[in-house]
Structures are given as structure tokens and as C-alpha cells.
Amino acid sequence: MAQYIATPSWLGRFFTRIKQVSIEQNILVVQFRDNTNQQFILSEFNNFSIVQNSLFSAKINLSDDSNTCISFLKK
């Protein structure tokens, strides 16, 4: 059961392949429109992740080794 679910904003529907982002126990799951998933284990992050809101959408900056950014999410 997902603890948190985020979907793309109206702008994100045009500019991202993401279908939804969810947190399930200790894993962040990014689900794409082509029904593939990418998983991030939360305990492997170097620091706290940051959620930033902009005028039209929100983004999550993950503090992993590659500085992953998931953008165009609903606020």
C-alpha cells in the first residue's frame, strides 16, 4: 500500500514520461507511461530530499549520488 502518491501536473503531461511517483514503505517508486518502474531505496539517500514548488508544478530533488530530479508534479 502506497503511503504517498504524486502524479504529473497538467504541464507535466506534455513534458514528462512519468505516470506517478509513490512511496511504498522504504522505497520511492517512479512509474512511467510505458509501464516500467524505477525504484530508489530511501535509506540510500545521502541527505534529506527536497520538494520544491514553482508556479505551475513541483519537483523532488533526491539526494542520491546522481542528484536525481523528478519534476512537473502536481503541488
pLDDT band at 8 (very low <50, low <70, confident <90, very high): very high
pLDDT band at 2 (very low <50, low <70, confident <90, very high): low
Angle at 47 between CA 51 and CA 69, to 5 degrees: 40
**How many domains, the chain?**
1
pLDDT tens digits for 31-74?
Answer: 999 999 999 888 887 776 777 888 888 888 887 777 788 888 88
Tell me which residue range forms the domain holding 28.
Answer: 4-73
Say whether pTM exceeds 0.85.
Answer: no
Identify any residues that bridge with 50 across adjacent strands, giving them in sequence order. Answer: 61
